[in-house]
Amino acid sequence: MGAGASNHQQPPSERHPVQRPAAAAGGPAAEPADWSVIFYWATDHVETANIETGAWRDLAKLTGVDRAVPGPRRRGAVAVDILMDLYSTGAYRVAFDGDPRKDGFQCRRIEEPDMTSASLLAAYLADVAAARPAKHRMIVFGGHGCAWLSLAEEGHVITIKDMAAAVKAAGGCDVVALDACLMGCLECAVEFSGVAKYVTACENYCPWNGIVTPKLLPALWAGPSPAELVQVLVAGFMGANVPPDLQKQLAEGRPLDKNDESLGKYRTDDPTVVVGDSACDIMALDVDGCMALYTWLKERPHIKPVFDADAAVDSSWPVLYDLATVVRRGLAARGDPAEEVKAFEQVCARAYVARGASPNTPETLKGLSVVRWPLGPDVQPWLDGGKDINLTYPTSVTYPAPFAPS
């Protein structure tokens, strides 16, 4: 149990982590919600306990809608359900289906769960799906992440394969938002094939200001289509992380010189300002398009991948490499045939719905990554030496790296 959890034995009816709070006063509308939005926040992590502040801030931002913004057209138009596990203050189940500025929300303290439990995730999603029918559904996974190893909690992980299986068992969804670091991986996207229509993720590190902003609920109240919603998520992420004047400069087609001394005024310790040395990116992905890209790569074993060190997404985790960089260098090693380059660009275009990045984000961190597999001798010992993380990549994804040997 985490440092903030209570040792008091709760009645059996209150002990199951997925038990939802009581229905809101007046009850939800009989009509299905336009959107059911589910947040699964795994922020009980001993080594980096301060990540829990991100969960509290996201809850505050989600419900902190500007007073001048009109509310939902009807009670129950958007149903929100949150399962959050925190390091210092325990775990909670939060739910609301109205306007939090006036209707409030229900919050229940629950026995501390293991958020990396595949069975817990499956039970929680199934419970919400059964209790809150909706025309569309979005599931947001928040916490620590790194490709196929996600939501680290006290040294434990849940695999992307288990996450996708839990979503599928609950009936699938329209949007999966991976609001965690280093999850913009081709293997992650195609894992949701047949499960979700769209996936949003970051290839690099996800900043404090992820996809949750005070504008998210109003956007949902407007009843967007799934394709429109992922555009909203990317725009909201960019608006929260790049100052308006720099956004204007980029919109006008004037590139930012990261060596410009005037940028010093933006280089602060404020995690809400992602410029300077803190590059960030986000992408909205079409899952079918990602699968087409994956298939295209699998059908071209002659494109030998070139895993150069400077193509690594993060040198401290030498497993993820920028996909476009790897493929382009592989093609260049073969003489860079123009028709193959063009074909790669065309199939990539189908995978991306929207993309955004902070002004100083390098080109190698503006798209999908891919797992380096098989791992080289320089990487394998580092991973095997991990205290609590087992290298289970080959069995933890349905679709291994397209460059992996058969």
Q: Please state, in angstroms and rounded to a whole number, the distance separating the CA atoms of residues 321 and 343.
A: 21
Q: Give the number of other CB atoms < 10 A from CB of residue 339.
A: 7
Residue 59 has what pLDDT?
93
Residue 252 has what pLDDT?
73
Residue 372 has what pLDDT?
87
Tokens of 342: 């063009």
Residue 68 has what pLDDT?
94
Whose CA is closest to 192, among 142, 235, 139, 143?
Answer: 139
Residue type, 238: M
Give the neighbor-by-neighbor strand order of the sheet with 175-179: 106-110, 90-96, 78-86, 33-43, 134-143, 175-179, 198-201, 281-286, 352-357
Residue 150 has what pLDDT?
74
Q: Are 373 and 404 in contact (CB under 8 A)?
A: yes
Q: Name all domains of the chain by residue range, CATH numbers in brackets.
A: 31-238 (3.40.50.11970), 253-396 (no CATH)
Give 10-residue mean pLDDT values along the chain (406 residues): 28 42 47 96 71 88 93 94 90 94 90 90 96 97 85 74 96 96 94 98 86 95 98 90 71 63 48 51 96 96 87 82 92 84 94 86 83 72 50 82 78
Q: Are 173 and 196 in contact (CB under 8 A)?
A: yes
Residue 162 has what pLDDT?
93
Residue 8 has what pLDDT?
31
- Per residue, the 3-state secondary structure of 327-365, as one string, reads HHHHHHHCCCCHHHHHHHHHHHHHHEEEEEECCCCCHHH
Residue 334 has what pLDDT?
82
Residue 18 has what pLDDT?
53
pTM equals 0.86
Bridge partners (DSSP) listed for residue 320: 371
Whose CA is closest to 157, among 165, 145, 166?
Answer: 145
Residue 11 has what pLDDT?
29
